[in-house]
Structure formats: structure tokens, C-alpha cells
Amino acid sequence: MAELTIGDKAPAIKAKNQHGEDVQLSDFKGKKVILYFYPKDNTPGCTTEACNFRDNYQSLLNDGFEVIGVSIDSEQSHQKFIAKHELPFTLLADEDQKIVEDYGVWVEKNMYGKKYMGTARTTFIIDENGIIQHIIKKVDNKNASQQIRDLLAK
């Protein structure tokens, strides 16, 4: 699949959330969506990013955004992650890696010389009509919400 760019229609999503309920991107039509992809529940960087969204969640809602996190972890893993860190937003379980593939964030990574496939931490800002407005590839975990605000203020 070709790399997604600003102005593209966001690929459709259908996945289970932390409660085992089917969630589709189309469920959020008419809302702006912060769709963020992260590698793994309960790892330091991913926890920092999720907690930043948690701490700024109400102001993001006030600005008309819905926050949705996606990783290849299971619903059960998401439940534990949410409970441990009191996360108020939806996490989608992409265990078959369809969403990460569709969004082009399933990539080859390299750690200590070992190559493996994993999720590239990436945030997509999607408008009310399902069009990608911004793509953040260099996510600042500690300031993820502010990074989005700064981008939208330009």
C-alpha cells in the first residue's frame, strides 16, 4: 500500500476495543479524531504518551477531538493498561495487524542490531469528514497533546 499523506481519506477501521465491542472509524463521523499508534501497552514510552493524552483528555474533548489509541496488543492487555493508568479513551486491539498495515505504520525496526517488525509510533489527525489533516511521525511522548495543539495552531 502507498504511504498515506495529508489530504488522503483515512482508511476504514474495524476492530475490537478494550470491552470487546466493535469500533469503526465511521462511528466518529462528524468528530475530529486523534488516532495514535503505539508499540506496546505498559512500556515506558507508550505509558508516557497515553498518560499525556489522559491528562489533557478533557481539553481535547472540549476542542472537538476524540482520542483513539491502536496497538497490536489484545483486549485483555488494553484492559490492564487502562485500569493501571486510568485511561479515559478507547484503545483498539489490532492483533491481526490489519490497521497498522493499512496506515503504513507496521515497519522494520532495529534494536541492538536485531531487525524485527513493529509499530512505528505515529499520530494521525483526522477531520470530521474522515480526511487526514496531519501526520506526526516524530511523536514527543511527554508532550503529545501539546504537539498536536502546536501543529493545529499553525
Residues designated catalytic: 46
Q: Torsion-angle region of residue 64: left (phi > 0), alpha (psi -120 to 50) or beta?
A: left
* pLDDT attached to residue 152: 86
Residue at 6 is within a domain: no
Domain carrying residue 67: 14-21+29-153
99 CB-near residues (< 8 Å, 6+ apart): 11, 13, 15, 37, 70, 92
Residue at 43 is within a domain: yes
We report the CATH number of the domain holding residue 103 as 3.40.30.10
Residue at 42 is within a domain: yes
* pLDDT attached to residue 46: 95
Residue at 4 is within a domain: no
Residue at 56 is within a domain: yes
Question: Scanning the structure block, which residue is given the C-alpha cell 496531519?
Answer: 134
* pLDDT attached to residue 1: 54
Residue at 66 is within a domain: yes
Residue at 106 is within a domain: yes
Residue at 48 is within a domain: yes
- The total of structural domains in the chain comes to 1
Q: Per residue of the chain (154 residues), what is the pLDDT tens digit?
A: 568 999 999 999 999 999 999 999 999 989 999 999 999 999 999 999 999 999 999 999 999 999 999 999 999 999 999 999 999 999 999 999 999 999 999 999 988 999 999 999 999 999 999 999 999 999 999 999 999 999 888 7
Q: What distance in Å separates the CA atoms of residue 152 and residue 132, rounded to the nearest whole number?
A: 13
